Amino acid sequence: MQAIFDESLVTGNELIDEQHKELIGKINDLVKSCETGKEKTTAVKMLDYLSDYTDFHFSAEEKLQEEIGYSQISEHKEQHKAFIQAIKELYEMLQEEEGPTPAFVAAVDKNVTEWLFKHIKGFDKAVAEYARNN
């Protein structure tokens, strides 16, 4: 499943939207690295990039929420923690195998791509709306 940024993911907050485009691009690079090379080192490298950018992006989002005094910040932080945990589990899956398996790709689809799209449409749009009104 390709990860593509489309209109349904626009929150209206320019900073968040730009970072989401970058993040989704990194997810797509990971997906592609599983389809083409099937090489473990490439997948690990792509996962490293995704993990680093996720940390950067979540910090920026959480900083914004602190600045605007967002009331649901602790619930939102819990969501981010769950995503970071999913990435950790992907590392573990890769370590146990020769390279990205179909189960690995399925976990990326479900726990990264689908999860993030749902998170953006619900949680991040709520933050952007709060930022506009406060």
Binding footprint of Fe ion on the chain (CB under 5 A): 61, 124
Please give the distance of CA 28 from its chain centroid, rounded to a whole number. 11
Residue 123 CB, nearest approach to Fe ion (Å): 5
Distance CA 115, CA 98 (A): 26
What's the min distance (Å) between Cβ of 55 and Fe ion?
13
Determine contact, residues 16/61, Cβ cutoff 8 Å: yes
Q: How far is the CB of 42 from Fe ion (least distance, A)?
A: 28
Give the 3-state secondary structure of residue 55: helix
> Whose Cβ is closer to Fe ion: residue 16's or residue 94's?
16
Which CB, 11 or 28, lies closer to Fe ion? 11
Of 61 and 94, CB closest to Fe ion: 61
Least distance (Å) between residue 100 CB and Fe ion: 26
Residue pair 108/27 in contact (Cβ under 8 Å)? The answer is: yes
Would you say 47 or 127 has its CB closer to Fe ion? 127
CA distance 53 to 26: 8
